[in-house]
A and B are shown apart, each in its own frame.
Chain A
Amino acid sequence: MPYNIAMVSDFFFPQPGGVESHIYQLSTKLIDRGHKVVIITHAYEGRKGVRYLTNGLKVYHVPFLVIYRESTMPTVFSFFPIFRNIIIREEIEIVHGHASLSSLCHEAILHARTMGLRTVFTDHSLFGFADAASILTNKLLKFTLSDVDHCIGVSHTCKENTVLRASLDPLMVSVIPNAVVAENFQPLALQKNSKLYSYDARPAPPPPQHLGPHDTITIVVISRLFYNKGTDLLIAALPRILAADPHVRFIIAGSGPKAIDLEQMLERRVLQDRVELLGPVRHEEVRDVMVRGHIYLHPSLTEAFGTVIVEAASCGLYVVCTRVGGIPEVLPPHMTTFAKPEEDDLVGATQKAIAALRANRIRTEGFHEQVKKMYSWTDVAERTERVYDGITGAISEEEFYGDVSGGGWSATRGRAGVQSFALIDRLKRYYGCGIWAGKLFCLCVIIDYLLFQLLEMLAPRANIDICRNWPRKGGKSERVDEEGDEATPLRMARSRASSRRKGRLR
């Protein structure tokens, strides 16, 4: 059963990143499976209004104030009128929010529940419980997740974290990992006989690479240079790794506030000839950088999934990473060496990896095929679709949740997982959030409901145009409108696409 889905998040292209590509890839695959997907995000520099991406993926860049690291100002209600308009004109049934730091996503989930839509939330990051910022974020998360139909975590660690932070029932959180487009991350050897590859014949295994004791080993680091990505750890460990072995080189790509610290360290220790800084790299160039190395070093301090290490392994790199968050779940042990997130251990693990590579104990040639079998976006889309089936009641709750004979459902729930939209039931769910917070949240929900009723009067549904859908591939025009001959929407779509190139509304 095809659904109309709106993906809502502050984070989307043109900004690069894991969440952004997750949303894009998932949406593309869902469209391939016959659903309709639109993306709602805020306006980026030079990206405002309605855009179309490949495959007819429609993106609404809503003009909003950005405050910190591309997150919008949390205003709770100001997003509602535009959101309601988009939801009605696109005939959306399911609202799927991404990323817990995105206030747009939280607001959208709240408004969607007020409007009586099914909601899903995907968490992409891990948070602590102790510092002030985390407490605030967690409270906010608890607010929106009190009344969400289902949650998705990108790893088991992420699921555990979300369940604890938002006091959720573990049964309503699924784990669906990220994936990689393995075709975009092929090792060097495969690229050469790519003809063989495209004929779907099983490619001949590339000749194993032999590294002598004096061959240069290149270590690649690609990450945004932020504190949470472990740049400080890298700065501390890097000179020691280089000092221990004269035949090691580094390639570091990425930008961020810690780039200055890194450059200062290189200048102080005069390591410029052994460390290459590439600055910001576009996502499609990442593969070309990765295949220049032998080892991928990932010093992150917190990571829910770590798509980049899957990409590195797919490029045939041996991975050295910190044992934090969801990283240990991501790759099988023969592809990785783990270290504790501290300087000594990271240096030790890297040296062990270098020694193992020099001793030819690691067969990196097979990594690409193995990763390709493990992670695919089609699989992610299938599993996400099952979540949609579960929350809309298309599959029974026994099938969706497994055995529920324990029946530990709270009184506020009508059917397991498929939550009722009645305002009083929603208020019951929010009231349990805390002594003061519960009452505050209830107040917010009531205001939101009144606002919704007001909007229904001021901007009646009848006045909102339903927009045309992107024509389906393969002549299946079940969704093409009544009066239009089949060629017309196509032409219109084409000229719409041309508008993307040519200009903007004044």
Chain B
Amino acid sequence: MLTTRPHLTTLRPSPTTISYTVSTASRRETLRSKLFHHILLSLRIILGLATLAVLLAKSLDEFHYMLNSWLEYIDKAPWSHVGPLSFASFFLVFRRFHTEESLLTLRSLGIQTSTLSPSYLLPSNTRFIPSSQIRDIFIHEAFRGFEVRHYLAVVVEGEGEVVVVFPKLLPGRAIVEEVWRGARECLYEPKD
């Protein structure tokens, strides 16, 4: 329910720029998934605000009167319990359940690969490879766990290992081939 199979989104603002994004985020097409998404979002907000409130109440003396009546046990609970619990709750609130990886190709400039981090707080992991350093882009197969997967990789000049595009998701052959075709077309000037 939280994630789907990897799907591809293509963005082409100009003939010389193309961005491919592979994501496992739910596409929210049906009413059910839309509803689920909104419920989840509101739950997260409520959980985040509640945790914030508890932390404020415990740390600032002015709010003690709030706790007197119906949440006395929070006041009594030691920090060694409240600390980890609120940490876990913040972790859940800011946790990104889906994975999203993208490849941005700019003609005569280069390509940028990026992987979104598993938390909304941390920055995404990006890498830019200037086109002068790109030797080749290819599709190959490799063992991963108990299966053989197709992967798209970029050969960078002066590096012993190739840079794998979409390293976490490793989408299937259909997606990888489409990205490979588009990226090559965009990266290199068409030969007339």
List the interface of chain A (C-beta within 8 A of B).
Answer: 48-50, 60, 62-63, 81-82, 85-86, 89, 459, 464-468, 488, 492, 495-496, 498-499, 502-506
CA distance A496 to B180 in the complex (A): 12
Which of B14-22, B71-79, B87-95, B150-158 is the interface stretch? B150-158
Per-residue CB proximity of B110-149 to A under 8 Å, as 1/0? 0000000000000000000000000111111111101111
The distance in angstroms between the C-alpha atoms of A465 and B144, with both chains bound, is 14
Tally A-B pairs: CB < 8 A.
Answer: 80
Q: Are B161 and A459 in contact (CB under 8 A)?
A: no
In the complex, residue of chain B having the shortest beta-carbon distance to the beta carbon of A497: B138
Closest to A489 in B: B177
If A492-B180, A495-B137, A506-B161 touch, whether A465 touches B150 (CB-CB below 8 Å) is: yes
Q: Which of A50, A86, A505 contacts B153 (CB 8 A)?
A: A505
Q: Chain B interface residue count: which class? A: 20 to 34
Given contacts A85-B148, A492-B180, contact A502 B162 (CB under 8 A): yes
A505 and B140 form a contact (CB under 8 A): yes
Cβ contact within 8 Å between B136 and A63:
no
The answer on a CB contact under 8 Å between B160 and A503 is yes
Interface string of B56-92 (1 = CB under 8 A from A): 0000000000000000000000000000000000000
Cα of A165 to Cα of B164 in the assembled complex, Å: 49
Is B12's CB within 8 Å of the partner chain A?
A: no
What distance in Å separates the Cβ of B165 from its nearest Cβ neighbour in chain A? 12
What are 8 contact pairs spanning A and B, CB under 8 A?
Answer: A82-B143, A82-B148, A459-B147, A465-B174, A499-B140, A504-B142, A506-B164, A506-B167
With most chain A CB atoms within 10 A of its CB, the pick from B144, B172, B177 is B177
Which chain A residue has the least Cβ–Cβ distance from B173?
Answer: A465
Centre residue among B138, B162, B164 by max chain A CB count within 10 A: B138
Q: Is the CB of B146 within 8 A of A81?
A: yes
The smallest C-beta distance from B141 to any residue of chain A, in angstroms, reads 4
A86 to B142 Cα, complex, angstroms: 11
A interface majority secondary structure: mixed
Tell me the B residues contacting A by CB distance below 8 Å: 135-144, 146-151, 153, 155, 160-162, 164, 167, 172-174, 177, 180-181
The interface residues of chain A lying within 8 Å CB-to-CB of B138 are 492, 495-496, 498-499
Distance between Cα atoms of A467 and B138 in the complex (Å): 15
The CA of A492 and the CA of B181, in the complex, are separated in Å by: 9
Question: Could you tell me if A495 and B139 are in contact, using CB atoms closer than 8 angstroms?
Answer: yes
Q: How far is the CB of A372 from the nearest CB of chain B, in Å?
A: 39
Which residue of B148, B167, B177 is within 8 Å of A50 (Cβ)? B148
Write the chain B residue with the least CB distance to A50: B141
A62–B146 CA distance with the chains assembled, in angstroms: 10
Question: Quick check: A499 and B180 within 8 Å, CB to CB?
Answer: no
Which of A467, A468, A495, A505 is within 8 Å of B142, CB to CB? A505
Structural contact, B142 and A49, CB atoms closer than 8 A: yes
Other than the known A48-B143, A504-B142, what 12 A-B pairs have Cβ atoms closer than 8 Å? A49-B142, A82-B148, A85-B148, A465-B172, A488-B181, A495-B139, A498-B136, A499-B162, A503-B161, A503-B162, A505-B144, A505-B164
Q: Let me know if A81 and B147 touch, CB within 8 A.
A: yes
| B161/A504 in contact, CB under 8 A | yes
Residues of A within 8 A of B180 (CB): 492
Given that A499-B138, A503-B162, A504-B162 are contacting pairs, would A82 and B150 also be in contact in the complex, using a CB cutoff of 8 Å? no
Point out the residue from A50, A62, A467 that lies within 8 Å of B173, measured CB to CB.
A467
In the complex, residue of chain B having the shortest beta-carbon distance to the beta carbon of A505: B142
Contacting residues, chain A, for B147 (C-beta < 8 A): 81-82, 85, 459, 464
Interface centre among A62, A465, A495 (most CB of B within 10 A): A465
Contact A467 B155 (CB under 8 A): no
Tell whether, in the assembled complex, residue B141 and residue A467 are in contact, meaning their CB atoms are under 8 Å apart: yes
- For B143, what are the chain A residues with a Cβ–Cβ distance below 8 Å? 48-50, 62-63, 82
Complex contacts, A62 vs chain B, CB 8 Å: 143
List residues of chain B with CB within 8 A of the CB of A82.
143, 146-148
- Kindly provide the distance from the CB of B189 to the nearest chain A CB, expressed in whole angstroms: 16
A496 touches B148 (CB 8 A): no
User: Which residues of chain A come closer than 8 Å to B153, judged between CB atoms?
Assistant: 499, 503, 505
Q: How far is the CA of A505 from the CA of B138 in the complex (A)?
A: 12
A481 to chain B, nearest CB (A): 10
Check A505 against B151 for contact (C-beta < 8 Å): yes
Chain B's closest residue to A501 (CB) is B155
A363 to B94, CA, bound (A): 87
